[in-house]
Amino acid sequence: MGEHITAGPYRATLLWNSLIRSFRNGIELGRHRRYMKTYDECFVASDAVEWMHQYLTENPNFGTDVSRAQAVQLLKKLHKSRLFEDVRGPKHNRGEFTDSSRLFRLTLASPSKSIRTPIALRNNLKLANLRRHTEEKTSHAEPVKLDFDRMSSLPSLHDNKTTLPECHFVTKPLTAQEIEEQWKLLTFESLEKILGVQGLDDIIEPRYVSGRNIMHNCLYINKSGVVTNIDPKDQLPHWALSAMKCLAYWPDKTDENLPNYPGFEKDVFRVVKDYFCGLKEPLMTYNMYEVITNVFGLTMDDCTERIVKALQLVCLLLPPANRRRLHLLLRLINKMATNDKLVLDKTQPLRLFLLETFSRAVLCCHDEGEMDDQLVIQLVAFLMDHYVDVFAVPIDLKTGVEARITKLQRTKVTRLRHDSNIYIRIRYASEDPATLHYCQKVSLDEYENQRLTASQQALATLLEEIIQDNSMSSKEKKKRLKQFQKMHPDIYLRRFPCSLSEPDLYPSQPRIKPPLLAKPLLKLKGLRL
């Protein structure tokens, strides 16, 4: 894509200004005739709607579900902001913008909005004003804080009758690893607070914890609270989901094509049991056994609320695919345990039967000789009874991480004067004050050359990241590469001068038979005749 997803403070203002620039540069102007008169350098309202609708659907900040009516509403705001006006002049500009054959022309006025900096910059900071301010006589050798209020009131300075470009504040770009690390750190801190300990060294081994898993489990959930965006190969098979649905609504039929014979529900239960008990490792993984049992042991004598909060955080450490399957299994056995019409074993209560059947599929020690069976059953029983609260995402964790990321992205700006050249010193708030970044004044031609070069390099890096992303499905990768090729054909051509190398990006996928939607439990028909 041509634009990255905008995040952080002033998001709305950044999106508005980007839209203004794109509309000015992208809308096609030409000669049009209306009411027996010809106008130059203008555009048709319907063409503007078409352009705006395409821009919004292709921009990752808005999404593909933007309607044409929404594009019209946005153009109404631009028209009201005087970005464009009726070709006949301001006196004909009172009518509201509509999707019609009416003609408009761009105005010289700009409805762009200035971004207020954290230190209350009144107006847009201009590089020319900065130069004039720093060239004032001063005896101070050490850097001093910029007087933004004074600078904002200074008149514009022209150097050789050329207006220098504006200087904008930007947030510090954080890598994916830095963001994931914040999720991990804040989760550990929250767990320490709940457990009342100074450190988790005796409870959790950090190398077994992934910040990416925590972030995924918090952000990618459906309206039922279940984790989504799971790789297809890690999803529950369709026949297992169909069997679980059949047991959840027993004795009501979920499919009229299902067989009907005495003991059918036991055969369906056996299918679910064989799937979960046949996994290579328990859903809570072998590495998490000590963590979960230690946390549960430290809180089991306290109030239910404290246990739930502790297990909330621990379950966020699970791989997303495991968390999803565990959530669905606990929801199923909770519903089955309260179903008086479901009888699977006449020798013991249904609740106890379910716990004994699935406890090792949920949590198990790699060395079964060191496993505390009673504690595991007690823990699984608690998860089954409180799965709704345990699998809810802690709101304070999400807001805490967002606040930390925003703080890390803030910048602090100071200035200094050296000889006849101007240097701007930018220090990020999270960095060591001794670590400074300098930029020296350059000519406009050199600035434009550097800007283009940097943009090309950034786009080439983005393309390479898409190519090297092994976690992305082949379908999604192909879609993004086609979008990139459409938006930046020159850069794409440099990377793939020959189309023969493109198929290497999409490894052949095994052919998967479509699920038997009409007969989801066809596998069960031959189990008992």
Residue ranges per structural domain of the chain: 11-106, 223-396
Residues 152-202 have pLDDT tens digits of 333 333 334 444 444 555 567 888 899 999 999 999 999 999 999 888 888
Residues 23-67 have pLDDT tens digits of 988 888 988 887 778 888 899 999 999 999 998 888 887 777 888
Between the alpha carbon of residue 31 and those of residues 27, 86, 100, 301, 307, the distances in Å are 13, 14, 17, 80, 72
The pTM assigned to this predicted structure is 0.52
Residue among 361, 200, 381 at smallest CA distance from 295: 200
Residues 515-527 have pLDDT tens digits of 444 455 555 545 5
Q: In this prediction, what percent of the chain has a pLDDT beyond 90?
A: 35
Residue 298 has pLDDT above 80, yes or no: yes
Common-topology check for domains 11-106 and 223-396: no
Q: How far is CA 428 from the centre of its chain?
A: 24
Residue 145 has a pLDDT of 34
Residue 335 has pLDDT above 90, yes or no: yes
223-396 maps to which CATH number?
1.10.555.10
Between the alpha carbon of residue 113 and those of residues 10, 187, 492, the distances in Å are 10, 37, 34
Residues 447-469 have pLDDT tens digits of 667 766 777 878 888 888 888 88
What helix, strand, coil percent values describe the chain, rounded to 5? 50, 10, 40
Residue 149 has a pLDDT of 39
Any bridge partners for residue 43, and if so which?
104
485 contacts 201 by C-beta, under 8 angstroms = no
312 contacts 323 by C-beta, under 8 angstroms = no
11-106 maps to which CATH number?
1.10.10.10
245 contacts 269 by C-beta, under 8 angstroms = no
Residues 106-139 have pLDDT tens digits of 888 767 665 554 443 444 444 444 444 444 433 3
Between the alpha carbon of residue 500 and those of residues 118, 458, 466, 497, the distances in Å are 51, 25, 18, 9
Residue 303 has pLDDT above 60, yes or no: yes
